[in-house]
Amino acid sequence: MLSETSLSKSDLIYPLFVVEGENVRKEISSMPNQFQLSVDNILRECDELSRLGIRSILLFGIPREKDEVGSAAYADNGIIQQALRSIKKAFPEIVVVTDVCLCEYTSHGHCGVVESGNVDNDATLALLAKEALSHAQNGADIIAPSDMMDGRVQAIRKALDDGGFADIPIMAYSAKYSSAFYGPFREAAESAPQFGDRKSYQMDPANSDEALREIALDIAEGADIVMVKPALSYLDIVRRASEEFNIPIAAYNVSGEYSMLMAAAANGWLDRDRTMLEVLTSIKRAGADLIITYFAKDAARIL
């Protein structure tokens, strides 16, 4: 009766990794119980999610071929495009959020176009806009740019509006830190940078005022939902953002946060379910409205 925070299934978004092929269900070794799935198996997954009461998924695509400019990210027969068409046909009620970024599609693994060894922010914007528009054309319900290029929300908003998708919202990864907690994801998405790191475009973990400036910029450019990522080491940012801005806040309980807990639970050092619920509740308590988490299904079974 006196509990101040309640967690519900409708707060949770479940990330899924789509790969080419048929009947692929390949476990990600650094993320127990999470899989790279081909489209047919993604549909099975959606069926299970529906039955569990999870209403929303976040899709990451792993293409067969990568190149310098991430062409597979905006190809009509790209993996995300194929997945979107199949999912929206079979499960129109599932809210499909798509990750818009180039790192899964580029041979160098960076989130943007590389010119003489550096990521070229402005040259990247047109490609991200093209990718976002292609997702919308194939049925995406929410576009989630995770690249952290400056100005990408505005570029994507314009491309969506001009393309007839004025009503498709943008969930911007606004305060995305350059974090070691993404390690397992990079195995899952096969997206580790082949040289250097992402510090020229992702944020310094030491900064929090900067996070608020990044969020304010994204809102001004047209973001409808803003995200803080990772979640756990950044709950102070979630709190500051939720106090400062009257807009839905999402927090991403990232791969490393998931794998840490799974590893401890596998060793019998932590009670998985209790710890998981405590973690998710703390993210909500800090001020998040939405939580992207690999624990979505496990939490739904309990909630």
The catalytic site residues sit at: 176, 229
Query: In whole angstroms, what is the distance from residue 141 CA to residue 266 CA?
Result: 36
116 exposure class (CB count in 10 Å sphere: 0-12, 13-18, 19+) = exposed
Candidates 103, 226, 238, 249: give the one binding ligand PBG (CB under 6 A): 103
Residue 185 interacts with ligand PBG (CB under 6 A): yes or no: yes
Strand pairing category for 56-62 and 31-38: unpaired
Q: In 3D, which of 168, 169, 128 has the Cα closest to residue 148?
A: 128
* CB closer to ligand PBG out of 31 and 241: 31
Choose one: 85-93, 95-103, 126-134, 216-224; the region binding ligand PBG (CB under 6 A): 95-103
Cα end-to-end distance, the chain, whole Å: 17
DSSP structural state of residue 231:
S
Give me the 241-260 binding string for ligand PBG, x by CB under 6 A, dash otherwise. -------------xx-----
* CB closer to ligand PBG out of 169 and 230: 230
Residue showing the smallest CB distance to ligand PBG in the complex: 185
Query: In whole angstroms, what is the distance from residue 199 CA to residue 203 CA?
Result: 7
Choose one: 45-53, 75-83, 96-104, 270-278; the region binding ligand PBG (CB under 6 A): 96-104
Q: In 3D, which of 291, 143, 280 has the Cα closest to residue 228?
A: 291
Residue 196 interacts with ligand PBG (CB under 6 A): yes or no: no
Number of residues that bind ligand PBG (CB under 6 A): 12
Candidates 79, 94, 111, 223: give the one binding ligand PBG (CB under 6 A): 111
| Residue 196 Rama label (left phi>0; alpha psi -120 to 50; beta) | left
Candidates 11, 20, 45, 99: give the one binding ligand PBG (CB under 6 A): 99
Amino acid at 3: S
List interacting residues with ligand PBG (CB under 6 A): 99, 101, 103, 111, 146-147, 182, 185-186, 198, 254-255
